[in-house]
Amino acid sequence: MLMDRPDGAALRQSVRSAHKAYLAQVGDRIAFAGPLTRDDGVTMIGSLLAIDFDSRDAAHAWLAGEPFTRAGLYASVAVHVFANLWPQKAGFPAAAIGAGGDLQVREGAAPPAGSTAAGHHHDDPGDNGHVQTLR
């Protein structure tokens, strides 16, 4: 989990396109990704990313080059191993594209045809065969 510094709203917006382009480079390994928001669902306060990496070192190396990190947006960073043991059936409703080209999730809608919320797994005996880094 990556939490923005309190005065980071303008910085987040100014670096957001570079951040999204950097995420696209690992798009085939993203289980889910998106901004953390206040209760209003609009005001961004951080990021939650589940990306499949071969190791914790690889996750930290990727994060070091991430544009929000390089710009100093994050006040705190937590990297954890995540074992996806539950089949995804809810929580990823159909999406609509907002005016700025952003993906906006609508509560209560069915997932789009052909979409998947399943993560990617690497065989790693040290992590019971399920390794995903949750940031």
pLDDT over 90 (residue 109): no
Helix (H), strand (E), coil (C) string for the chain: CEEECCCCHHHHHHHHHHHHHHHHCCHHHEEEEEEEECCCCCCEEEEEEEECCCCHHHHHHHHHHCHHHHHCCEEEECCEEECCCCCCCCCCCCEEECCCCCEEECCCCCCCCCCCCCCCCCCCHHHCCCCEEEC
For position 97, what pLDDT does the model report? 39
For position 44, what pLDDT does the model report? 96
For position 41, what pLDDT does the model report? 93
Q: What's the pLDDT tens digit per position in 76-108?
A: 999 999 888 887 766 655 554 344 444 443 333
Q: What's the pLDDT tens digit per position in 29-54?
A: 998 899 999 999 999 999 999 999 99
Q: What's the pLDDT tens digit per position in 17-28?
A: 999 999 999 999
pLDDT over 60 (residue 134): no
For position 117, what pLDDT does the model report? 33
Q: Are 69 and 63 a contacting pair, CB within 8 Å? A: yes
